[in-house]
Structure 1
Amino acid sequence: MTPPLQPEPTAAPPATSSDEPAVALLCSELIRHDSSVRGPFERGVAERVAAELSSMSLRPVLLEPEPRRSNVVARIEGTDPTLPALLVHIHLDVVPADPSAWTVPPHSGELRDGYVWGRGAVDMKNMAAMTLEALRCLLAGGWRPRRDVVLAFVADEELGGGLGARWLVEHHRDLLEGCTEAIGEAGGFSYEYAPGRRAYLVQSGEKGIGWLRLVARGSGGHGSMLHTDNPVIRLSEALQRLERHDFGVLTCETTSDLVAAAKTWHGAPDGESALHATGPLAKLLVPVLRNTYNATELHAGLQHNVVPPVAEALVDGRFVPGHEAEFYSEIEELLGDLVAVEPVFSNAAVETAFTGAVPDAIVAALAAEDPHGVTVPTCLPIGTDAKHFATLGMKCFGFVPLQLPSDFDFPTMFHGADERVPVSALCFGQRVLERFFRAC
């Protein structure tokens, strides 16, 4: 545990109306603490979260595996020590933002047009604000949970969790003692499939991560000569082949539930058509039907007149739960004659049956706030810290409850410019979380 840290100065808040909801104001303030994973890191926002928890008479512990890479953990003791504990995990880091691409400064937390704007508004300081405000209201009213609730506000999720969730699992497992179920990002958001009728897509599965390096090799040499084994050309051919190839539809149990619901909503003949019919949300849902491979970086060349002996590409691969073996074998079979396929990093897929105390509490809390809504367990293509906590045997669910406007392009908010969250969605989420904590 680090020694007590001095609070850091915070940017002056933007002008806001005094009647803004407390959850929106807190979300705005958390955004103003720039916690970019490339620096200045999480300490400032972690201290702010720790102060909130202390104000509720909780005893937060602040831990740093490296300077300024801050994690905050607190436990709310339940009334029945025989019950297993619940983990609520929320990452405090955010990806960098280029101010030139934004309508507002990305760390301003500006409240405008009914939204809170800024990096982290959706990913995922919204959940931090909703959770803190929900617990503040509950605890102020004398509530105590039946089971222990462990709160983990963690660092480094955007770069794999090595200084956050994974580090806690490996070095501070005692703080997670007794936890058998967990909620975290990124499901729980609404999709309006008919006027006034919403489905809430709760994450109970997520694709695995397989980052790969494609390496082409040749003799190299002077750029004025003929080269039949130019690595740049071989790599380019491999990437084109990868882009054009159809690896086919794959399903897991959670995807089947989602597809069945979507086919009913849209009268579509097949799963892929059904998910495409969800409009902007299709960007997030269609990838769950396949193992995917996206080239993200290229590395080749020494100077203009030199054919390099090596050319490399990095590929962000994601595999459907239960289909990891095919993920590696099919790309090797497709590209092995052109390039070497080298694993760089991997994380297992996660899939959890949507049964038990936490799913029951999720369904009940959402139904109480939206009686006509339905809850649909969903597999999402992104990776979360659930991968680390699942190694301890926890059943993990993505549950960040947000009731969104029907025309809101939610998927583009993740890591995108002008990230923002509706104030009304924050208020809805706080109410749902209050009901959820009471129920579970």
Structure 2
Amino acid sequence: MKSLATAAATALALFATHAAAAQAITPRPDQLAFRDLYKELVETDTSVSTGSCTAVAEKMAARLKAAGYTDDQVTLFKVDGFPLDGGLVAQLPGTSPKAKPMLLLGHLDVVNARREDWTRDPYKFIEEDGYFYGRGTSDMKAMVAVWVDTLIRLKQQGYKPKRTIKLALTCGEESGARMNGAQWLAENRPDLIAAEFALNEGGGGTTDGHGKVVSQAIQIGEKSNRAFELETTNIGGHSSIPIDDNAIYELADAIEKLRAYKFPVHFNDTTRAYFAKAGAEQKDAVGRAMVALAANPADRAAEAIVSSDRTHNSMLRTTCVATMLEAGHAVNALPQRAKATVSCRIVPGEDADTTRAALITAIGDPKVKVTLVGRLRPVAVPPPLDPKIMGPAEKLVSRYFPGVSLIPAMMTGATDATFIAPIGIPTYGVPGGWSDPDGNGTHGLNERREVRSVYVGRDFLFDLVKAYAQQD
């Protein structure tokens, strides 16, 4: 069994070579086996348009059973009417009757990808220039691979955890167009996933853009997502006799006002701690502004500097952005209707009602109808800054990434934690792997994950799971 010191030494050796990020890494035999699992996940299309989560869940179940898990320890599930959206729950039983289970959470589905837009085939697993390419390599099949691999390694080692380790792999996080597996489990089989806490996506590190890891974060809470529709209407008419009262122009004016509007800064305990701590470590003008703003949210000069970074701006406030447009009904007719879909990410402490009211005020035109649309996730429930969670993570970050602190952070997107936390399972986005400042193409073109990030993150999370599993 590889010790924590050995794993950390391996990680540090890789970490020290950050200046040569594009240099090929010679994987260990166990890493090659993990790479094969990761490859199978990426090359099994799980997009809502052309893929199947059920297929990849069955493949992961087969791997777990081949490693020694029994039928009663691996549960495949799917819902009538949604045969492609299945998932699985597995568990490694604990030895302590007092220790409550822990849950490893991951979604199998990925954002749709069109081959004609990508440089490489999005559903081929390609290693190139120090990166793994393919849809899901970053969000979130690397972590799914780590969770499955961790259970396999623990079983092969004959490891006996104090607390039961559960794994839930679900579908629908990215689109939810048909169903959401995490929601289904929470509402229909909470017994399968009952746990003291859950580990999820949303945390992790960032680099300086040249391969050096400069931060590691643990996700403590996240924004809620809500969509609104802006709609303008008109009686229309013949396009040969235009008028100023045009539904498209009215909508365009509303969108322009939306573009110019910034919601006010809204700190919570997590984001205030993040900006104070991360800013102090950054040691430049932006870092000083982060510290100043955390101390005084009314500091407009500091706010302007911090807001110039798109990620920082999103953590500071609720954000709303137009994402889709629909207008008109004929080339030779004045538009009778124009619509825009606006995607909002809402900070804890605000909600759909306060956000809609702010949009109406910002637009300032009673002729523009603002309506809440789309599926409604529960409002995110931030987990506590529990020393039992923070302590082991901080120790491992210090060991694997000397000089890098673990910082609590709020995720600006939304995860399946929104379904798990409301049933009494505090959910944390774990550190370990890392991303580049550009986001690594997540939800976009040519998604990728640095090879070192995957391999080091795998060892880090294996050690983290074991640290939590030995708690009473």
What is the TM-score when the length of structure 1 is the normalising length?
0.88
- 2:337 equivalent to 1:310: yes
What is the aligned partner in structure 1 of residue 268 from structure 2?
252
- 2:423 equivalent to 1:423: no
Gapped runs of 5+ residues in structure 2?
1-25, 294-300
Secondary structure of 1:302's counterpart equals coil
Instruction: Tell me the amino acid that sits aligned with residue 398 of structure 2.
Output: A
2:439 is aligned, of 411, 418, 434, to: 411
Aligned length: 420
Q: After TM superposition, where is structure 1 displaced by more than 6 Å over at least 4 residues in a row?
A: 16-20, 193-197, 272-280
Secondary structure of 1:144's counterpart equals coil
- 1:169 CA drift (Å): 1.0
Distance 1:149 1:279, change over 3 A: farther
Instruction: Tell me the amino acid that sits aligned with residue 345 of structure 2.
Output: R
What is the 5 A alignment of 1:393-404?
393-399=424-430, 401-403=432-434
What is the aligned partner in structure 1 of residue 193 from structure 2?
176
1:60 is aligned, of 66, 74, 78, to: 74
Secondary structure of 2:132's counterpart equals strand
Counterparts of 2:307 and 2:327, CA distance in 1:
38
What is the aligned partner in structure 2 of residue 31 from structure 1?
42
Counterparts of 1:46 and 1:159, CA distance in 2:
18
Q: Is the 8 A contact 2:227 2:372 kept in 1?
A: yes
Percent sequence identity is 29
Secondary structure of 2:174's counterpart equals helix
1:392 is aligned, of 407, 418, 423, to: 423
Q: Bigger shift: 265-274 or 299-308? A: 265-274
Counterparts of 1:120 and 1:166, CA distance in 2:
21
Counterparts of 1:276 and 1:425, CA distance in 2:
32
Q: Which has the higher helix share?
A: 2
RMSD across aligned C-alpha pairs, in angstroms?
2.7
Secondary structure of 2:361's counterpart equals helix
- 2:289 equivalent to 1:270: yes
What is the aligned partner in structure 2 of residue 365 from structure 1?
396
Instruction: Tell me the amino acid that sits aligned with residue 393 of structure 1.
Output: G
Counterparts of 1:76 and 1:17, CA distance in 2:
27
- 1:133 CA drift (Å): 2.2
Secondary structure of 1:322's counterpart equals coil
What is the TM-score when the length of structure 2 is the normalising length?
0.82
Q: Is the 8 A contact 2:94 2:165 kept in 1?
A: yes
Q: Is the 8 A contact 1:285 1:380 kept in 2?
A: no
What is the 5 A alignment of 1:12-411?
21-58=32-69, 59-65=73-79, 66-160=82-176, 162-177=179-194, 179-192=195-208, 198-264=214-280, 265-268=282-285, 269-271=288-290, 282-324=309-351, 325-335=353-363, 336-345=365-374, 346-347=376-377, 348-399=379-430, 401-403=432-434, 408-411=436-439
Counterparts of 1:278 and 1:55, CA distance in 2:
51
Distance 1:50 1:143, change over 3 A: same
Distance 1:252 1:212, change over 3 A: same
Instruction: Tell me the amino acid that sits aligned with residue 322 of structure 1.
Output: G
- 1:286 CA drift (Å): 2.6
What is the aligned partner in structure 1 of residue 9 from structure 2?
none
Distance 1:57 1:149, change over 3 A: same
Secondary structure of 2:418's counterpart equals helix
Gapped runs of 5+ residues in structure 1?
1-15
Distance 1:307 1:193, change over 3 A: closer
Secondary structure of 2:203's counterpart equals coil
